[in-house]
A and B are shown apart, each in its own frame.
Chain A
Amino acid sequence: MSNKILVVDDDQSILEAISLILEEEEYIVQTTTKGEEVYTKLHTFKPDLILLDVLMSGKDGREICKKIKSDEKTKSIPIIMISAHPSAEKSIKECGAEDFLAKPFETKDLLQKISQFIS
C-alpha cells in the first residue's frame, strides 16, 4: 500500500509542483491551502506524513503543528515543516515538528527527508 502525504501551503504552484514530484514517486498526495481543512483531512485522508508551510496566510503553520502534536490520536504523524526563512528552524523545533526544509529546496532533499520517516 502506498504512503499518503498531506501537503499544506498557501501557494497553489508549490502544492502542484510537490504533488507532481511525489506522485511520480508513487505517494498518494492530497493538498490544501486552508489551515482549517488540515484537521478534517486528518480524519478523512489519514496521512502518514504532513508537509506543512510555516507562514501560511491566515494561520501560522506552527500553531497547526502544535495542535496536531498535542492530540493523542494524531501526534504520531511525522511533520516536516517548510519555510522560506532559514532562521525559522529554531522556532520549528519548539513546536514539535520532526524536520525542517528551507525553501527553495532540492528535489532530492525533499524525497530523502520524506523517506526517513516513511518507506
Chain B
Amino acid sequence: MNKFGRFINPIERLGMKKYSIIFPLLVNLAVVALSEFFAYNVVKNPDVVGVYIIFINVALIMYFSFRDGIRGGFIASAVSLLYYFYIIYTRHYGGSQLTSVIQTTLMLGALYFFLASIIGWLKQTIDTLIDSEADERRRLQAIVQQLPVGVLVADKNGKILQANKQVETLLGRKMRESLISGKDTVSNTLENKSVNLTQWPINHTLSTGKPVVGKNYTIERDDKKKVYLQISATPIHNKEGKVIAAASIINDITAQREMEDRKDDFVNMASHELKTPITSMKLYIDSLINRIKQTKDEKALKTLTSIKYQTERLQELVSDLLDVSRLQTGKLSFNKEKFQIDELIEETIEGLQGSTTQHAIKFSKKSPVTVFADKFRVYQVLTNLITNAIKYSPDASEINVAVKKDGQKAIVSVKDSGIGIDKDQQRKIFDRLYQVTDSKEKTFPGLGMGLYISKEIIKRHKGTIWTESIKGKGSTFFFSLPSLKK
C-alpha cells in the first residue's frame, strides 16, 4: 500500500493514534461547496439536492469517525448540521419558522453525534488495544535484545518467529542473513554445522512437546571458531494446550569451559609436580631405614619412621586435594568392575589394623556380596570411614564393620562408640571442608575433605551415604552401592 493509500484507508490506520481535525474539516467543507456548486450550476434546482446530501453526510461521518475517532466524527457531524440548517432555513421554511428549523436540525444532530460517538469510540478502543499490545511487544523485544543469552522462537513448522542479536553472534553471520530474508527454518539455519538437527532442542521440543534443559553442544561457527553452547528449549502452548511454538535459550559457555580446561590442566600439572618429590622422598627414606636397621640405632630409626609417617600424611593430603579438585570439575574417572565387597573390606581392615593398637577392627562376615563399582574408590571410602572411626573414638576399644544385602543394594556400615555427632551437624559433615568440633573444644586433625570425597564417590555410583549418631555415644556410618546377583 502506498503512502496515499495509508493516508486515506482507515483500516491501515488502525492502531495509529493520529486523529486529524484539519483533514475532516477540509473534506467536509469541500463536499458542501461541491454540493452548492452542483445545486446552483449543474441541476439548477437547489431544492432536489437536500435529500442526497444526507446520504453523503452520513457516509462522511462514518468514514471520519472510523478514521479520526470521535473528534473526526464530530467535525463531520457539525459541518453537516450547519449545512442542513442553512439549507432548510433558506430554501424550505424561511425566516418565519426558525423554531422548526432548529428542532429538525437538533434531531438529526443527536442522531449524527450518537453515530459518530459509537464508531469513534470503537476506533479509539481498538487503537488503544493495538497500541498497548505493541508496547508490550516492544518492551519484551527490548528485554530479549539485552539478554546475555541467545533467544530463539520458532513456530510448529520450524519457522523462526523471533531471534535476538546474541543468537546471530553465537551461531554466526549466515544465520543472521537467513533471518533477514525471513524464509528460513530452524533446520536450514543450522545446516553445515556439527549438530544433529533432530536432536537440536527446539526441534525436539516442537516434535515432542517436552522441554529440554541445558544440553551441551560444540559447534563450529562460520568464522571457524569453536564455541561451546548450552541450549534449553521450552514449548509455548495455546489456550487449548496445544504446542504452537517453542522458545530456545542459547547460552555461550565457551569461556567457562576454557576456564575449566585450564583448571584441569593445572590440577594435572600440580598433581605431577607434587607427587614426584613425594615419590623420591619416600624411596630415599626407605633406603635410609634399611641402612639404619643394620646399625641398630633405635633413636634414628624412630625418627626416620616418624618422617616416613609424616610423608605419608602429606601424600594423602595431596591426593585428597587433587580428588576434591577433580570432583569439582567432574574429571574424576571411575573404572567400574565386578568384585566381592566383603573381600575388599577384609583387605582394607588388614591394612588399617596396623595403624591402631587400641582399637580392634571387627568384621562379621556372612555371605559374599558382589558389587559393580570402582574398587580403588570404594577402598578409599572404606579407609576414610574406618580411619574416622579410629580418630573420633579416642577412648573406645572396638570398631565394627558389617555388610548386608538389601534388595538390589549392598549396605556397608562402620560403627564406633566415639564422640558422636550432634543432630544439626549430621548433614553438614558431608559438605566440603566441614569439620566436627567437640564441645570440649578438642580439635581433630585433617582438612575435612574425607567425607566430602566419600559422598561424591558414592553419589557417582548411584548409591547413598548417611550416618546415625548419638552425641557422646558413637556413630554408625552407612553407604549403599548397587549390588549384583552372583
Contacts and interface: CB of A to CB of B under 8 A. Distances in A.
Contact of B279 (A20, A87, A104): A104
Interface in A42-72: 55
A17 B268 contact: no
Contact of B276 (A11, A16, A20, A107): A11
Interface string B433-451: 0000000000000000000
Q: Is the interface of A mostly helix, strand, loop or mixed?
A: helix
Contacts of B268: 85
Contact of B280 (A11, A55, A87, A89): A11
Interface string A10-42: 010110111011001000000000000000000
Contacts of A18: 280, 283
Given A14-B280, A18-B280, A104-B275, 5 more contacts: A11-B280, A89-B335, A103-B276, A103-B278, A107-B287
A24 B333 contact: no
10 contacts: A14-B279, A14-B280, A16-B280, A17-B279, A18-B283, A20-B287, A24-B290, A104-B315, A105-B282, A110-B283
Given A13-B276, A84-B275, A21 B333 contact: no
A87 B333 contact: yes
Contacts of A106: 282
A80 to B, nearest CB: 14
A80 B203 CA distance: 51
B173 to A, nearest CB: 40
A18 B286 CA distance: 11
Nearest to A25: B290
A45 B417 CA distance: 59
Contacts of B281: 17
Contacts of A11: 276, 280
B241 interface: no
Interface in A64-98: 84-87, 89-90
Nearest to A16: B280
Contacts of A105: 279, 282
For B276, B290, B335, the residue with the greatest tally of chain A CB atoms inside 10 Å of its CB is B276
B299 interface: no
A85 B284 CA distance: 22
Contact of A104 (B278, B290, B333, B335): B278
Interface string B250-290: 00000000000000000010011001111111111011001
Contact of B284 (A17, A55, A103, A110): A17
B309 interface: no
A106 B282 CA distance: 7
Nearest to A13: B280
B376 interface: yes
B272 A55 contact: yes
Nearest to B272: A84
A116 to B, nearest CB: 19
Nearest to B268: A85
Interface size class of A (residues with CB under 8 A): 20 to 34
Contacts of A20: 283-284, 287
B272 A17 contact: no
A38 B152 CA distance: 58
Given A85-B268, A103-B275, A104-B315, A17 B283 contact: yes
Nearest to B326: A87
Contacts of A16: 280
A34 B93 CA distance: 126
B200 to A, nearest CB: 33
A106 B277 CA distance: 13
Contact of A107 (B278, B282, B333): B282
A18 to B, nearest CB: 6
A7 to B, nearest CB: 11
A16 B281 CA distance: 11
Contacts of B284: 17, 20
B287 A17 contact: yes
A85 B280 contact: no
A29 B268 CA distance: 29
Which 5 A-B pairs give the minimum distances between C-beta atoms? A17-B283, A107-B286, A17-B280, A104-B279, A84-B275
B336 to A, nearest CB: 12
Contacts of A90: 335
Contacts of B290: 24
For A11, A14, A17, A21, the residue with the greatest tally of chain B CB atoms inside 10 Å of its CB is A17
A84 B271 contact: yes
B407 to A, nearest CB: 32
Contact of A13 (B277, B333, B335, B376): B277
A106 B276 CA distance: 13
B124 to A, nearest CB: 73
Given A17-B287, A104-B315, A86 B280 contact: no
Nearest to B377: A86
Given A14-B276, A86-B376, A104 B282 contact: yes
